[in-house]
Amino acid sequence: MSKRITLEELKSYLWNSAVLLRTHIDAGSYKQYIFPLLFFKRISDVYDEELAASLEEFGEDFPENHRFVLPESYHWSDVRETSENVGVAIVNAFHAIERENADILTGVFGDGAWANKNRLPDELLKDLIEHFSTLMLSIENCPEDELGQGYEYLIRKFADDSGHTAQEFYTNRTVVHLMTELLKPQSGEAIYDPTCGSAGMLISAIAYLKAQGKEWRNVRIYGQEINALTSAIARMNLFLHGVKDFQIVNDDTLTAPTFIENGQLMQFDMILANPPYSINQWNREAFAADKYGRNFLGTPPQGRADYAFFQHILKSLKPQTGRCAILFPHGVLFRNEENSLRENLVKTDLVECVIGLGANLFYNSPMEACIVICRTEKTAARRGQILLVNAINEVTRKNSFSYLEDGHIKKIAAAYEKYADTDGFSKVITIADAESNNFSLSIPLYVREAVNEEAVDSRSVVECVSAWLESAFEMRTAYDDLKSLLAADNVVYAFDEPELLMVAEKGEGNGGKGDEN
C-alpha cells in the first residue's frame, strides 16, 4: 500500500524503535541492532516494490530488476512469521543476504549478539519487528533522500543518548557542511575520508552536489574506518542515501592503508576528515619507515598521531586538483613537540587556510577545534600565503548543544573566498611571517579577537573550567616556545612558576648570569 511518509513520521518511527530497547541494552549499543533491522526492512520492501513493478510491466520478474538479491525464505515477512528463536532467524537472514550479495554486502549487518536471549528475548525482538512492520519503506513511500535524513537523525540521536561513544561515529553536521562548502565538490571527482566514521562527510559531499543541481551519481566515494560496526553503519548509510559507487573498508588507516595503486597510495580530488584526536596507541616505529613515504614531514611523537594522519591525507591528494579540509585540535597549530613537522609543513606551501572554531561543537567535549585546508595547486595569488580565520564566536548554543547557523557558514566561507585581512576576524600571513613566530600557526598570534563588552558568557561552570584548562595548556606551550627562542638567541632566564622572575642577556660579570635585581 502506497502512503508517503513524512519526515516527522519517519523520525518518530525510527526513534521509537530505539525506545523499545531501553532497559535491555546500553544506549551505546542501540546502533548495533536498530541500523541492521532498518536496512533489512528497507531491502525487503524495495525488493517487493521492484517485483510488483516488474510483474505489472512484463508479467514476470527478472533478477536484473533488483538491486539486491533476496534469497527465498529470508525475506522480512519470513522472519516476522517466526515465533521462537527469533534472533537466530534474524542472523540466518542476514548471513543469507550477505552471501547472495557478497560483492557489496559482506559484513554489512555487523555481528550483534542477536541469539543472546538474556539480552534480546524473543518477545522483545518480535516487538521490534512488529514496530518496523508498521510502515512500508518502499522508495515510493520513502525516497532515498528522506530515508537518508531519517538515518542521519537517528545517528545524531544515538550520539545524544550514548555518552562517551558518540565521538566514534558522529561529527557535528553543521561543521561538516561548512567543510563541504569550503571545498565545493565537483561532478566526476573521487572523494575520500580516511577515518570515515558513519560516512557523514562523504554523504555531505553528495548532498552538496544535489543541492547545486549537479550530477552526483558519477562521484566515486572512498572511505576507511577502523571500527567494524561503524564501517558497517557507513555502508548502510550510503546505501540508504542512494549512493552506489563507493568503497568503505574496515581497517586501520595508519598501519594498513587500503587504497593502493601501483604500490603507491591512491590519490583523490577531495578529502574530508576528522581523524581521532591525539591518539598515543599507534605504531610509530613502522610509520618512521613507511613504505608509502607518509613521513615526508617527519615522524610524529608517540603521544600524538595527528601529524601521521595529516601526512597520510596530504600524500593522498592529486597533484593538480587535490584539496582537503581536516578537523584537528588547536594543538596541531602550535605544540612545541611537533614544531619541526609544522615547519616542514608550512614550507611545502600546501596550507591554504586555518579556521579556528568555537567551543562545544563536539560531543562530550568543550574543546575548540580548527579546520585546516590544504591544496596541492594554489592559485598564483595565494602562493606563499596562509589565511587565518578567527571564527570562535561564529557559533550558536542551545540546550547544551552548539552548532553553526547558515549565517555563520556563509560568513566563514565568504572570508575564505575573499582571502583578505578583516579586522578581528581574518589575516593573510606569509611563510616568512610564520617563520618569524617559530612556525606557530596559533591564530591569536596573528588575529586579535574583537572584544564585545556587552556579550554575556552563557557557559556552565564546567565549560568555563574546561576552557580555562585549554587556555592554560596553550599558555604553557607558548612559554615552552619562548624558552626555546631565548635559548637560541643566547638568553638565560630564571622561572619560578607561575611567574617569570627574570630574563637577562648573558654577559660579562656576575658569573655570566646578568643582573638579578
Reported as a single tens digit per residue, the pLDDT across 120-165 is 999 999 999 999 999 999 999 999 889 988 888 888 787 765 544 4
Tell me, what's the pLDDT at 231? 94
Rounded CA gap, 177 and 204, in Å?
A: 6
32-46, 284-298, 455-469: the lowest-pLDDT one: 455-469
Banded model confidence at residue 495, pLDDT cuts 50, 70, 90: very low
pLDDT for 362 beyond 80: no
Q: Please choose, from the candidates 202, 68, 195, 111, the residue with its C-alpha nearest in 3D space to the C-alpha of residue 148.
A: 202
pLDDT for 167 beyond 80: no
pLDDT for 388 beyond 90: yes
Residue bearing the bigger pLDDT, 516 or 338? 338
Tell me, what's the pLDDT at 506? 35
Tell me, what's the pLDDT at 471? 59
Banded model confidence at residue 367, pLDDT cuts 50, 70, 90: confident
Tell me, what's the pLDDT at 472? 64
Mean pLDDT within 278-297: 95
pLDDT for 105 beyond 60: yes
The dihedral formed by the CA atoms of 72, 78, 79 and 85, expressed in degrees to the nearest 10 = -90
Banded model confidence at residue 484, pLDDT cuts 50, 70, 90: low
Residue bearing the bigger pLDDT, 351 or 490? 351
- Amino acid in the structure at residue 176: V
Rounded CA gap, 93 and 80, in Å?
A: 11
- Give the ranges where 283-338 is alpha helix by DSSP (H): 284-288, 306-315
Tell me, what's the pLDDT at 158? 79
Q: CA geometry: angle at 336 spanning 333 and 339, to 5°?
A: 70
Spatial CB neighbours of 21, under 8 Å, sequence gap ≥ 6 = 30, 33, 34, 124, 128
Tell me, what's the pLDDT at 165? 45
pLDDT for 326 beyond 60: yes
Banded model confidence at residue 436, pLDDT cuts 50, 70, 90: very high
pLDDT for 220 beyond 90: yes
Q: How many CB atoms lie within 10 A of CB 164?
A: 10
Residue 352's SS3 state is strand
Rounded CA gap, 170 and 493, in Å?
A: 46
Dmax (CA) of the chain:
105
pLDDT for 41 beyond 70: yes
Tell me, what's the pLDDT at 507? 37
- What's the whole-number average pLDDT of the chain? 87
Tell me, what's the pLDDT at 126? 97
Domains of the chain: 7-143 (1.20.1260.30), 163-445 (3.40.50.150), 473-512 (no CATH)
Tell me, what's the pLDDT at 171? 79
Tell me, what's the pLDDT at 27? 74
Q: Please choose, from the candidates 363, 362, 359, 24, the residue with its C-alpha nearest in 3D space to the C-alpha of residue 163.
A: 363
Residue 248's SS3 state is strand
Residue bearing the bigger pLDDT, 489 or 5? 5
Percent of the chain whose predicted confidence (pLDDT) is above 70: 83
Per-residue model confidence as pLDDT tens digits over 404-416 = 999 999 999 999 9
The dihedral formed by the CA atoms of 126, 74, 137 and 239, expressed in degrees to the nearest 10 = 120
Spatial CB neighbours of 51, under 8 Å, sequence gap ≥ 6 = 61, 65, 66
Mean pLDDT within 367-388: 95
Residue bearing the bigger pLDDT, 493 or 306? 306
Q: Which of 27-31, 108-112, 306-310, 356-360 has the highest mean pLDDT?
A: 306-310
